Amino acid sequence: MIEVTDLVYEYPTARALDGVSLKVAPQTITALVGPNGAGKTTLLRCLAALEVPYAGRVTIDGLDTATHPREIHARLGYLPDFYGLYDSLTVRRCLVHAARAHGIAPDAAGGAAEKAASRVGLSDRMEKHAGELSRGLRQRLAIGQTIVHEPRVLLLDEPAAGLDPQARRDLSTLLVSLKDADMTLVVSSHILAELEDYCSEMIIIEDGRIAGGKAVKVRDVERPRYLLEIATARSDLKEFLSGRAGLDVIEADEHHALFTFTRNPGARAKLVRDLVGAGFEVSSFGESTKALEDTYFAQVKRS
């Protein structure tokens, strides 16, 4: 759905993106993470055809951003990190205007606005002015405007910034429902915890490049990540685990190991038995709850 090839973007005094190549599959939620100033927002703006690359190619749904910027603008949704709303308009008019601006016919714009409002939970506030809404509701309205034309690709830059825990949870639920409705989402953030709930892939940007060279899978239903801890240090822990079929070590030291392994209970029970049999004092073994964070730091260490 999204394909980037050797993308270079330059500011007058620095190269912000340096040979970035990536692919994003349809109907996925991909996290775009990295330190402040790494190039996340620049990459998102290039994907949204809001910046013209110095070199390289970006295609969205088969269209090149350099030659078809307006066609791409029409078919994607982009929520910038700092967005504004027309405070003097009602929620209904904000959504109808967004629908009309995205090419929805006048007689269908009202229906599209109602549907978007329903998706973001604003149906009961249609006649309120945007300026009267709370921060969380403004965020919902902004997302509503972004999805009113049912874009195939949705780009969100720091969407949960400043939201309270309940609003963050609502946002997660909404994003997953949008993915299930056949949208492809790319969500940028430098706060890993907020991406944990809904992202399946992760792209790490560091110094204008993709760490590890490609997107990494964060969550694999068949092969989850496990975290193992042993009570007494053993320098051969990594070697022992690496030698086992079907087990891939992500990182390991003398006390801990993070690895992917089958979800099969029998295979997991056998692994624990073998560890204990080999003299490892297993103090903890379970599925990692910080998959995204673990993957991020493992990948950054490697690169």
Partner 1 sequence: MNPEFQRNLWLELTPRRMILMVVLLALVFFATAVTTGADHALIGTLPDTAEFLFYAIVVVWGTRNAATAVVGEIRDRTWDTQLLSAIGPGAMTWGKLFGSTIYNWFGGAICLGVLLSDTLAHHGPVQAGIDLVYYLAVGAISQAAALLASLIAVRRRSAHTRLDVFLYQVVGMIAGAAVWSIWSAADPAGSIITHKPASDFIVWWGRSLDSRGFLLASLAVFTGWTLVACYREMRLELKMRNGSLTWLAFVVFIGVYVAGFDAWLNDDKALHALDTVVLRLGLALATYAVLTYLMVILEPKDRVHYRWLGEQLGAGRLGAFWNGLQAWMVAYGAALVVAVALIARLYSQTRIDELALIAAGLGFLTRDVAIFVAMRGRQRRGGDLAAIGILIALYWLAPAIVGGLGLENLLMAFFPKTTAPIWLSPAVAWAEGIATAALAISRVAIRNSPAGRSEPSRA
Residue 97 found at the interface with partner 1 (CB under 8 A):
yes
Q: Looking at 28-36, 113-121, 214-222, 261-269, which segment touches partner 1 (CB under 8 A)? A: 28-36
CB 1 to partner 1: min, Å: 17
Q: Does residue 167 touch partner 1 according to CB under 8 A?
A: no
Neighbours of 156 (CB within 10 A): 25
Number of other CB atoms surrounding residue 57 within 10 Å: 15
Question: Site for partner 1 (CB under 8 A): which residue of 120, 192, 230, 257?
Answer: 192
DSSP label of 254: S
Burial of 201 (0-12, 13-18, 19+ CB in 10 A): buried
What values do phi and psi take at 148, rounded to 5? -60, -30
Q: Of the candidates 207, 219, 267, 285, which one interacts with partner 1 according to CB under 8 A?
A: 207
14 forms bridges with which residues in the sheet?
Answer: 11
* Residue 102 binds partner 1 (CB under 8 A): yes
CB of 3 vs partner 1, minimal distance in Å: 19
For partner 1, the binding residues in 252-281 under the rule CB under 8 A are none
* Residue 190 binds partner 1 (CB under 8 A): yes
31-44 as b/e: b if 16+ CB within 10 A = bbbbeeebbbbbbb
Q: Does 69 bind partner 1 (CB under 8 A)?
A: yes
Three-class DSSP labels, 262-274: CCCHHHHHHHHHH
Count Cβ atoms below 10 Å from residue 168 Cβ, excluding itself: 20
Give least dist CB 129 to partner 1, A.
Answer: 12
CA-based nearest residue to 95, from 27, 142, 139: 142
**Candidates 50-58, 120-128, 195-203, 247-255 — which segment interacts with partner 1 by CB under 8 A?**
50-58
State the Cα–Cα distance between residues 48 and 98, nearest whole angstrom: 17
* 2 is a site residue for partner 1 (CB under 8 A): no
For residues 88 and 242, which CB has a smaller minimum distance to partner 1 in the complex? Answer: 88
Taking alpha carbons only, the member of 169, 162, 172, 202 closest to residue 186 is 202
7-26 binders of partner 1 (CB under 8 A): 10-16
Residues that bind partner 1 (CB under 8 A): 10-16, 33-38, 48-52, 54, 69-70, 73-74, 76-78, 80, 82-86, 88-89, 93, 97-98, 100-103, 106, 145, 190-193, 206-208, 293, 296
